[in-house]
C-alpha cells in the first residue's frame, strides 16, 4: 500500500472521535496496510487511523524489540474493558515529533477488538509493558484524546512542546482520573 502523511498536533482530525467500523472490507484492509507501512517507516510502536487523517476506529501496534521478528497486532473497534494499577511513564507520539512527556497510565489493561478478519479477540497487557502503554495510547487517539491530556505536569509538558514548536497543552482537554491519581499517591 503506501506510507501516508502523519498529522501533527494542532490539526483538527486528531481531536475528533473516530467512527465505528461496520464491515471489515477491502477499504479497511487497505487502511490497515497503510497504517502498518507508515508506522514502520516512521519507526513507531503504534499508529491510529486518525493520525493519517482517516476517521475510523482502527489502530495497529507492534511492540517487538529490535532483534525479534515483526509482530503487528490490528485492533478494529477496540474497547478497553478492564484497567488497573497505576504508573508514570514517558511517552512520545508520531504526531508530536521528538517530544517525550511524562504521563499517567494504567499498568494493566484488557482490550476487546476485532482482528483484520473481523473476528473478535481479547488481549490482556500487564505490568506496565510497552504493549499496555501502546494500547492505551492508540485507543485514546480513536476518541480524540492525546497522550499530553494525561500529562503529569502541564507546565513541564508545555516547555517540552514549545521546544519542538508544538502548540501548548489544551487545559480544557486535560483528563482527571482520580482513581489513577490516588493509586499513584499511594505508591
pLDDT, average across residues 88-100: 96
Q: What is the pLDDT of residues 152-175, one digit of tens each?
A: 999 999 999 999 999 999 999 999
Instruction: Check residue 28 and report its DSSP letter.
Output: H
Average pLDDT, the chain: 95
11 is known as an active-site residue: no
pLDDT for the residue 187:
65
Instruction: Tell me the C-alpha to C-alpha distance, in Å, between residue 82 and each of 5, 38, 110, 122.
Output: 33, 29, 5, 11
Closest of 57, 40, 41, 38 to residue 49, by C-alpha? 57
**Domains in the chain: ranges and CATH:** 12-186 (3.90.45.10)
Q: Could you tell me if 180 and 88 are in contact, meaning their C-beta atoms sit under 8 angstroms apart?
A: no
Least confident of 34-43, 61-70, 117-126: 61-70
pLDDT at 65: 86
Catalytic option among 138, 162, 170, 177: 138
Give the separation between CA 173 and CA 150, rounded to whole angstroms.
9
Amino acid at each position: 500500500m503506501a506510507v501516508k502523511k502523519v498529522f501533527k498536533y494542532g490539526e483538527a482530525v486528531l481531536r475528533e472521535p473516530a467512527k465505528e467500523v461496520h464491515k471489515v472490507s477491502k477499504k479497511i484492509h487497505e487502511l490497515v496496510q497503510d497504517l502498518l507501512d507508515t508506522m514502520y517507516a516512521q519507526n513507531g510502536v503504534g499508529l491510529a487511523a486518525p493520525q493519517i487523517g482517516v476517521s475510523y476506529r482502527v489502530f495497529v501496534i507492534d511492540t517487538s524489540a529490535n532483534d525479534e521478528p515483526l509482530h503487528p497486532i490490528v485492533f478494529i473497534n477496540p474497547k478497553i474493558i478492564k484497567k488497573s494499577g497505576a504508573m508514570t511513564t514517558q511517552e512520545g507520539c508520531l504526531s508530536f515529533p521528538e517530544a517525550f512527556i511524562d504521563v499517567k497510565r494504567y499498568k494493566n489493561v484488557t482490550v476487546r477488538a476485532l482482528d483484520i478478519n473481523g473476528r473478535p479477540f481479547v488481549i490482556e497487557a500487564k505490568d506496565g509493558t510497552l504493549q499496555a502503554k501502546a494500547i492505551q495510547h492508540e485507543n485514546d487517539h480513536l476518541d480524540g484524546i492525546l497522550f499530553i491530556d494525561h500529562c503529569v505536569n502541564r507546565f513541564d509538558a508545555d516547555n517540552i512542546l514549545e521546544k519542538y514548536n508544538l502548540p501548548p497543552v489544551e487545559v480544557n482537554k486535560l483528563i482527571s482520573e482520580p482513581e489513577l491519581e490516588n493509586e499513584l499517591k499511594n505508591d
